[in-house]
Amino acid sequence: MAEETRHDQVTRAARRAVLIDGIPVMTLGAVALALGSNPDQTAAQKAWWIAATAVFSLAVVWVLWRAFRRADEYLRRIQLESMAVAFAAVLVALQVATLLDAAGVIELRQLAQLILIGGVGLWLGLADLRTRLHR
């Protein structure tokens, strides 16, 4: 019983750490989205947008690295499975967005950013829900 309680506390701490690391990354993604949403940008605005997007990408890698280093084997499996589902959802959504862009319904540039940010959110949400519901 004591071992199970300790294991639940470790799992809860790992989930909390991923959430604490993930919230600034999602905020940075929203900032990159806002910076890139203007189609008529100056060179300085484009530079800020590219810099924010690059920092966002590096922050995602940082969150992944920290999450995997902290996790035990079970949590690593849940993270990888959740990431695989989110990756598949992003691929399907990007394909649909490409078709809608080709049909002239929407602009791919703005929707692609939302799809990528949503993919990160989906990954974090799925990993959290699977961890909560399975144990």
Q: Percentage of the chain with pLDDT > 70?
A: 94
Question: Which value, in Å, is the radius of gyration of the alpha carbons in the chain?
Answer: 18
| pTM greater than 0.85 | no
Positive or negative, the CA dihedral 3, 64, 125, 27 is: positive
Instruction: Answer whether 70's CB lies under 8 Å from 17's CB.
Output: yes
Residues with Cβ within 8 Å of residue 30, at least 6 apart in sequence = 117
| Predicted confidence band of residue 72 (pLDDT cuts 50, 70, 90) | confident
pLDDT in the model for residue 119:
92
Mean pLDDT of the chain: 84
Name residues whose C-beta falls within 8 Å of residue 8's C-beta, 6 or more positions apart in sequence.
135
Contact 101, 107 (CB under 8 A): yes
Position 7 scores a pLDDT of 66
- Burial-class residue 61 by CB neighbours within 10 Å (0-12, 13-18, 19+): exposed
Higher pLDDT, 78 or 89: 89
For the record, the structure tokens of 68 come out as 């995997």
pLDDT single digits (tens) 95-133? 999 999 899 888 888 788 889 889 988 988 898 888 777
Q: How far apart are CA 92 and CA 102, in angstroms?
A: 15
Q: CB count, 10 Å around CB of 19?
A: 12
